[in-house]
Structure 1
Amino acid sequence: MNPDDPLLKILACPLDKGTLHLLSPENILYNPRLRRRYPIIDGIPQLLPSSGEQVPDEEHESLLKRIEATEPELS
């Protein structure tokens, strides 16, 4: 999955139905509101609630900085 993939515009977090952010090279989708990451395996986003992992505070701060650097309008 790449940042230009039209699928990214319609994907949503299964828990809060909000926007997800693609983070490469880890190949994850991240929800900063709930601090949850979802893996992308073989190009397929794993968006079941049980697939998401809670992110520790330190990693959350790091991911937020990366999102802000690539997407100035953080939602």
Structure 2
Amino acid sequence: MNHDDPLLKILACPLDKGPLHLLVPESSLKEDEALYNPRLHRRYPIVDGIPQLLPSSGEQVTEDEHEELLKRMAP
């Protein structure tokens, strides 16, 4: 998925129904793509190109992780 994907405009967080932001993996890290809700500090994985948007699929992130993720959000 890339930041130009029209799907990003219609995807919403299953908890607060607000927009999600694409997290682009850093080349030095072995992280997968994910969608992020900065309002609730929740990250949702993208597995094989498919966003996993069940509430139980989301992962709560710490305040330190949140600050780091804000830097990685695609524009």
Residue in structure 1 matching 2:65, options 42, 46, 59? 59
* Counterpart position of 1:46: 52
Which string of whole-angstrom CA distances, capped at 9 and with x for unpartnered residues, describes residues 36-69 of structure 1? 00000000000000000000110101112333xx
Unaligned runs of 5+ in 1: none
Q: More helix per residue: 1 or 2?
A: 1
TM-score normalised per structure 1: 0.85
Q: Pairwise CA RMSD of aligned residues?
A: 1.1
Runs of 4+ in 1 over 4 A off after TM superposition: none
Count of residues in Structure 1 that have an aligned counterpart in Structure 2? 69
TM-score normalised per structure 2: 0.85
Unaligned runs of 5+ in 2: 26-31
* Counterpart position of 1:13: 13
